[in-house]
Chain A
Amino acid sequence: MSQPTTAPQTEKQARPIVPFLRLGSNGDTPHLVAKKCATCGAVYLGTRVACSKCFAPGPFNEIRLSDRGSLWVYSIVHQSAPGIPTPYVAAIVDLPEGASVRCTLVDVEPDPRKLEFGMPVEMITKKVREDKDGNDIIAFFYRPVQQS
């Protein structure tokens, strides 16, 4: 039997589904991060080589985004690619830092009558699948702010 050429498998780790989701550690909670152009203040999810708004070649500062935002618009998807469960609320959420996030809205009925423009929403995270090495893949979702 041949020996594996890769390093021995280490402990399984949770991985964020996109690089701009930070899962949090040492007591910190999961949150999104963005790159903010130091010149014009434009905010990007993910990296930019230069600012696509003001064209400055950087620098970009990493900022932590708020957990709460508001619903800008949505669609309710009833037919998607094969294997993707429907219906789901495909939303655009605005965050106070100037970021706009494409996301799925959960814990709400997929019904336009239940979705109000500007409604406050908050981010949660959930495991959505495992990668080929068995690590948990964690995604973020938004849900209406829970009234307490």
Chain B
Amino acid sequence: MRNVYVLGVGMIKFGRYPQKDVAELSAEAALLALKDADMTIKDIQLLASGNLLQANAMVGQRILQQIGQTGIPIVNVSNACATGSTAFREAYFAVGSGEYDVAMAVGSEQMGKAGLLGGGGGRESVEGILGSGLMPAVFGQAGVEHMRKYGTTAEHFAKVSVKNHKHSTKNPLSQYQNEVTLEDVMQARMIAYPNTLYMCCPTGDGAAAAILVSEAVMKKSGNKPVKVGCSVLTSDPWTERDLTLPDVSTLTRTAAKQAYDKAGVSPDDIDLVELHDCFATAELLHYENLGLCKDGEAGRGVDEGWFEWGGKTPVNVSGGLLSKGHPLGATGVANIYEVVTHLRGQAGARQVENAKVGMAHVIGLGSACTIHILTA
């Protein structure tokens, strides 16, 4: 594999766009990335399009029908919540292999107000009868498991939500930009214990795009180079309860180890992390899974502000999925957008000072985990 760089990124503000379709949203993000890269669609040699809810509707082709049908190869990607990051990985391999010099990844989703009700499979519903397979309960249980192991409290999880909402006030592309207090979070409507409303990511629409290029193309550009240090994808190995209580930790730990090895960095080198906080409980687990603190220390880390902007390792300075939003297929590329923006020193009021190494982590339940480490 040869070196691969992110030359351009673009993202639309996450939110609700009932008047537009998903191809239009994606096209807007793609044009922003092209502008950022000082390129046109004629420069793009391959497109990887990540979209989950319209996985059978050729979203990639529809994007080019909006902005220029150049006849290039298009890969439509679906991989649960890791859809966008898997599309990014496809573009990474396209360039890294030497087959293409310029590839674009677009992640998009239009969810409206319907969440991921999960399940499917066509059988008669057992929801509520045989427990719950819905995301809020699954991630509630994962949080309760951490409580059981380490004595973590509901308040620890709630503080994650306070932090991410606070971060989002400085991100103009965040779906929500309002601060919430610990009391607000704790007293909000319970969705699935211990996650209250503010501890669950919202539904919404959004799109983000990234343009990946070879070193030769990068050198011709005036943009500050951001190198893809590694692209890791794992699936869930057999673990004791994975088939009943999806194990989001083991595959993240495996991915993290591979990512640090491949990128040649350690957790101490990481200046910022965008991780998959679909629920507040998930974020706290991933501090440990990604090696940002020791096992059992995440609660303490939350109390002491290790993961806040200005802390030891700032996590989700974009506002995270909890406040920036989580349009499923868009998320994995939006995380890359955030990290690249900081590594270039262009993140404005939320800039992590002197950021040189950033990590983007995504989990799709079922399960898929991607980790990308980017370096300036």
Chain A residues within 8 Å of B, Cβ to Cβ: 17-18, 42, 44-45, 52-53, 72-81, 84-88, 90-92, 100-104, 112, 117, 128, 131, 137, 139-141
CA gap between A87 and B191 in the complex, in Å: 9
Specify the chain B residue showing the minimal Cβ separation from A99.
Answer: B244
Point out the residues of chain A lying under 8 angstroms from B245, CB to CB: 72-73, 92, 100, 102
Cβ–Cβ contact A139 & B240, under 8 A = no
Point out the residues of chain B lying under 8 angstroms from A103, CB to CB: 130-131
The reply to whether the CB of B148 lies closer than 8 angstroms to some CB of chain A is yes
Specify the chain A residue showing the minimal Cβ separation from B245.
Answer: A92
**Which residue of B136, B141, B189, B243 contacts A73 across the interface (Cβ within 8 Å)?**
B141
Query: Given the interface contacts A81-B127, A117-B148, does A75 sit within 8 Å of B141 by beta carbon?
Result: yes
Point out the residues of chain B lying under 8 angstroms from A75, CB to CB: 132, 136-138, 140-141, 143-144, 192-195
Cβ–Cβ contact B148 & A139, under 8 A = no
Point out the residues of chain A lying under 8 angstroms from B190, CB to CB: 76, 78, 87
> Which size class do B's interface residues fall under?
20 to 34
Specify the chain B residue showing the minimal Cβ separation from A48.
Answer: B243
Specify the chain A residue showing the minimal Cβ separation from B145.
Answer: A73
Chain B residues within 8 Å of A, Cβ to Cβ: 117, 124-134, 136-138, 140-141, 143-145, 148, 189-195, 238, 240-241, 243-245
Listed by A's residue number, 20 A-B pairs whose Cβ atoms lie within 8 Å are A18-B126, A73-B145, A75-B137, A75-B138, A75-B194, A76-B193, A77-B192, A79-B136, A80-B127, A80-B134, A84-B127, A86-B128, A87-B190, A92-B131, A101-B244, A104-B130, A112-B194, A131-B124, A137-B124, A140-B130
CA gap between A126 and B194 in the complex, in Å: 28
Point out the residues of chain B lying under 8 angstroms from A52, CB to CB: 238
Specify the chain B residue showing the minimal Cβ separation from A88.
Answer: B128
Query: Given the interface contacts A18-B130, A78-B191, does A90 sit within 8 Å of B241 by beta carbon?
Result: no
Cβ–Cβ contact A92 & B141, under 8 A = yes
Cβ–Cβ contact B134 & A78, under 8 A = no
Cβ–Cβ contact A78 & B189, under 8 A = yes
Query: Given the interface contacts A18-B126, A78-B191, A90-B131, does A72 sit within 8 Å of B238 by beta carbon?
Result: no
CA gap between A77 and B132 in the complex, in Å: 8
CA gap between A45 and B243 in the complex, in Å: 9
